[in-house]
Amino acid sequence: MGLLSRKVTCNSHGQDSSYFLGWQEYEKNPYDEVKNPKGIIQMGLAENQLCFDLLESWLAKNPDAVSFKREEQSIFKELALFQDYHGLPAFKKALVDFMAEIRGNKVSFDTDHLVLTAGATSANETLMFCLAEKGDAILLPTPYYPGFDRDLKWRTGAEIVPIQCSSSNGFQITESALEAAYQEAQRKNLRVKGVLVTNPSNPLGTTMSRNELDLLVNFVTDKEIHLISDEIYSGTVFSSPAFVSIMEVLKDRKLENTQVWERVHVVYSLSKDLGLPGFRVGAIYSNDPIVVAAATKMSSFGLVSSQTQYLLSAMLSDKKFTKEYISKNHKRLQKRQNKLVSGLEKAGISCLESNAGLFCWVDMRHLLSSNTFEAEMELWKRIVYDVKLNISPGSSCHCTEPGWFRVCFANMSEDTLKLAMQRLKSFVSSISIDNQTHQDLKNMRKKNRTKWVFRLSFQSFHDREQGER
C-alpha cells in the first residue's frame, strides 16, 4: 500500500453512499419481466428512456449520419484520424443552437465560449479544477445530487459547504441560508470560491424561481465569487413555471461585460434532455476566456469521440426533428410523472410539487418509526430488500430532514412503474396494519394495566377494611 498514492487509498470518492449502494443491490438482483419478475426495480437511476422511438426513427431516416457518410461518400477515415480537443465546429454550432432552442431562444450561445467534455461529470470536475483547489469551498443548496461529492471533491481537493434548505418553503434558497453557509465555510477556514446550483433541481424536480436566481446573482456579486449553474435538466421542464436560465437573468439585468458576467458558468449535457448518457456528451459554457482556454486544455483528458460529434451534429441540425422531439419529450415526461404521483397517492404518499426532471421528491416521513436518519435508513433498507425497489434516501442527497426520498420514473416501462406502485402500496398497507396491531396491543396493555391497578387498589381497600373491623 505504501507504493500507492493517497488518492487511491482515501475514502473520499463517495462510493459507500446509500445512493450507490442501492445501485449495487439492484445489479445483484435486477428486475426482468420474464427472467426475474421478483427482482429489484431500478428507481434510483435518472435516465430518460421515453423517446428512444423518436431517436431510432431519425436514425433510420438518416443512414448517411449513421454510416459516417457525407453526400454518400465515406468520411470514416476523416473521423477516425486525430482531432484536436476544440471539437468539431459543426457539432459545437448544432449544440449551442439546441441549447438556445430549449430555452425558447431567449438567449443565444457563442461556440467560442463552449468547451466539450465527456459528460456533465467531467464538465463539473473540470470547472472545479479551474476555479478551486485544496482549502477552497463551493456552496451547494441541499438536497443535492449525491454524485457531486465525487465530481467536485474527490480529485480536486475542494470542499462542499451545504446551503441548508428546508421543506417549509419547498426547499427554496434564502438569503439567510446563503449567508449562513458562507459564514460556516469561514469558520472552517475555507475560502469560498463560488456557489453551484442545479436548475432544474436534482433531486427536487423543480425549476428555480426568478427571485432565487436574482438572489444568487446579488450574492455572488457582493461576495465577488463564481456562480455555476448546472442546467443538465433544462430540456425536461414539462409544466409551468417555465425554465429560466441564469444566462437569461444576466441578459435581462444587462450585466454583459461586467465582472460578474465573467464569473458565471453553465454546465450542460445531452444525457438527460436527449436521453444519451452513454454517448458521454457534456459541455462547459463560460464567459471568462481564461476559464475557457484552461478548460479546453483540460478537456484532452476526456474528449467526445469524433464519430459521436458527427452523428449528433447531423441530428441536432435537423430543426424539424428537434422541435418535434422537445415537444413530445415534454408531453411524455408529464404523463409519466402524473402516473407516478397518482400511484404514490393511492399508496397514501405525497411528494413535492414538481415541474421538471426525471424523478419526484417523495415525502415518506409518516412511514418512519422515528424522526431520525437511522429510521430513514431502516425504511430504505426495507424498501430495497423487502419491497424490491431501489430509491434514493434523502440523507444520500444531504437533506436535513429525515424521510424524503428521490424516486425516478422515466427509466422504465409504464407496466414496470405500475408494478412498482403496486408493491409500494402493499408495503404501506402492511405498515399500517402493523402499526394498528401495535397500537391495539398498546391499548390492550393499557386497559389491562388499568384493570390490574384498579383490582390491586380495590383489594388493598378491602384488606384495610377487614383489618379495621
Angstrom CA distances, 127 to 92, 193, 263, 285, 397, stand at 19, 11, 11, 10, 21
Q: How far apart are CA 65 and CA 350, in angstroms?
A: 45
Provide the 8-state DSSP code for 40: B
For the question of residue 173 being annotated catalytic, the response is no
Q: How far apart are CA 173 and CA 164, in angstroms?
A: 8
List residues bridging with 114 in a β-sheet: 285
296, HSE (Cβ side, Cα atoms, 13 Å): 17
User: CA quadruple 131, 396, 276, 408: dihedral positive or negative?
Assistant: negative
Residue whose C-alpha is closest to residue 207's, from 229, 228, 175, 227: 229
* Residue tagged active-site, from 19, 26, 145, 268: 145
* Residue tagged active-site, from 92, 153, 193, 272: 272
For the question of residue 230 being annotated catalytic, the response is yes
* Residue tagged active-site, from 225, 232, 349, 383: 232
Backbone angles phi, psi at 244, to 5 degrees: -120, 115
Question: Which H or E run contains 363?
Answer: strand 359-363
User: CA quadruple 439, 443, 449, 452: dihedral positive or negative?
Assistant: negative
DSSP string, 213-237: HHHHHHHHHHHT-EEEEE-TTGGG-
> What three-state secondary structure class fits 199?
coil
Q: How far apart are CA 449 and CA 446, in angstroms?
A: 5
Q: How far apart are CA 213 and CA 219, in angstroms?
A: 10
For the question of residue 425 being annotated catalytic, the response is no
> What three-state secondary structure class fits 80?
helix
What one-letter code names the amino acid at 157? G
Cα 318-243-273 angle, rounded to 5 deg? 40
> With contact defined as beta carbons under 8 Å apart, do 125 and 147 qualify?
no
* Residue tagged active-site, from 97, 136, 149, 230: 230
For the question of residue 232 being annotated catalytic, the response is yes
CA dihedral 54, 55, 57, 63 (to 10 degrees): 160
Q: How far apart are CA 16 and CA 320, in angstroms?
A: 45
**Catalytically active residues, by annotation:** 145, 230, 232, 272
